[in-house]
Every structure is written in structure tokens, then in C-alpha cells.
Amino acid sequence: MKETEKSTSKIGIGSILSWGLGGLLVVGGIIELFSKPAMGIFTLLAGLIIFPPAVKFIKNRTHFELSKALKVVAFLVLLGIGGALAGTSSTSTASTPSASNQQNKPNSASSKPEPTATSVSKQPDVPTEYKSALSQATSYANTMHMSKQGVYDQLVSEYGGKFSPAAAQYGIDNVKADWNANALAKAKNYQDSMHMSPAAIHDQLTSAYGEKFTQSEADYAIQHLND
């Protein structure tokens, strides 16, 4: 009877999240494999890292198990890449009408004496790749609340935008984003969904394998975490 009570007491929020979230990601990843293979693979891997049956199977086969900290980091990285790939597919369709609109701008610009210096993106000599990089940078920054460095790395990644460094830098230089607000949004998500401590959240925000925010941006997020 005591052994039963001990076993049931171990079933907490962490176990429920591992089964629920892990199972959902595994099923979703398998489904995405048929329509979006790249995103499906990363989603599936993220689910397998925390899904108890998969963890137990890998441990029995390899006699190896990731620590909780490494599981969190690996889970966030894989989930972030999968989400970024989903954003890439959505923003690629959104960039098509903007490109067609740009084709009409040279005619309107020719009626003016000279282009305005404050609106570089409206100049007809800006390459299409640069405009696409800016469009994706805007989506990553304002929809996924990524850091400045995180957006740049995603733009040049072979698993992400695959833009040239120059095009990615143009996107970073011209994107309108509040990086402090992005850091705060990420921090609140870690606190509310993963129940992490402020110190752990700060480390995750500034980690080179995590969100890649600056120290000042992470400090701002921690200071306003409970606002």
C-alpha cells in the first residue's frame, strides 16, 4: 500500500506535461512529415526528448540518459527550429504579394525628383533577396519574439532562411523590433509554461544555445518579469 502511494505521489505536473506535450509533439511531428518534412523532423525530435516511453526506450537501448538541464535546452532548441521553419513557410507566401507591389514602385518613384532617404526599402535598387530577408526578420522578431542574434542566425541558417550574410544583415539593420520586449515575452513564457527560476530564465535568455539575448536585454526581462 505504501509503495502505491509513493508511486502515485511521483506523478506530478512534470510527468503530465511530459506525457501530454511530448505525445502531442510526436503525433504532430509524424503528421507534419508528410507535408513539411523538415519541420516535422524537428518537432518529432523535440517530442521524443521528453516523451516518457521514448526516453525509457533510448535509456534501455543505449544505457544513456540526458540530464534535465540538457533535455530542456535540447527541447527548446529543436522546438525553436521547428517553429522557425513553420514561420519560414508562412512568410515565404507573404513575401510574394510584397514583391509584386515593389514592381509598381519604380513607376511612382520616377514621378518624384528623387527617392526619400528615410525609406530605404522603397528604393528600386534594393535587391529582392534583401527585401525577403527583411520580411522574414520582421516575422521572427515580432511574431516569435526572437533575439536580434537569434533572428540573424535563423536568416543565414541552412535549415532556415539560407540568406546571404549581407542580406541577413540588411534585414537586421532595418527590422523594427523591441528586443527588450522580446526578451520579456520569452522570460514570461519560461516562467508560466516551464516554471523556471529567474536565474535559470536569465541563463536561458543569454545562452549561445538558447535565446541569444544580450545581458542588458535579459536583465530588463528579469526586472519586469512580474509586472
Name the residue with higher pLDDT: 148 or 60: 148
Closest by Cα among 56, 47, 105 to 78: 47
Grid cell locating 143: 511574431
Alpha-carbon distance of 106 to 222, in angstroms, equals 47
pLDDT at 5: 47
Q: What's the whole-model pTM score?
A: 0.46
Residue 49 in any domain: the answer is: yes
Residue 6 is assigned to a structural domain of this protein: yes
User: Average pLDDT of 10-20?
Assistant: 62
Report yes or no on 35 lying in a domain.
yes
What pLDDT digit, counting tens, does each position of 170-181 carry?
999 999 999 999
pLDDT in tens, 99-157: 445 555 555 445 555 655 555 455 568 999 999 999 999 999 999 999 999 999 999 99
Domain limits for position 57: 1-67
- Euclidean distance between CA atoms 125 and 164, whole angstroms: 17
Annotate 111-170 with DSSP letters as a single string: TSSS--TT-GGGSTTS-HHHHHHHHHHHHHHHHS---HHHHHHHHH-TTTT---HHHHHH
| Number of separate domains in the chain | 1
Amino acid making up residue 143: T
Tell me if 40 is assigned to some domain.
Answer: yes
User: What number is the average pLDDT over the span 34-51?
Assistant: 65
pLDDT level of residue 69 (50, 70, 90 thresholds): low
Residue 197 resides in a domain: no
Asked whether residue 100 is domain-assigned, the answer is no
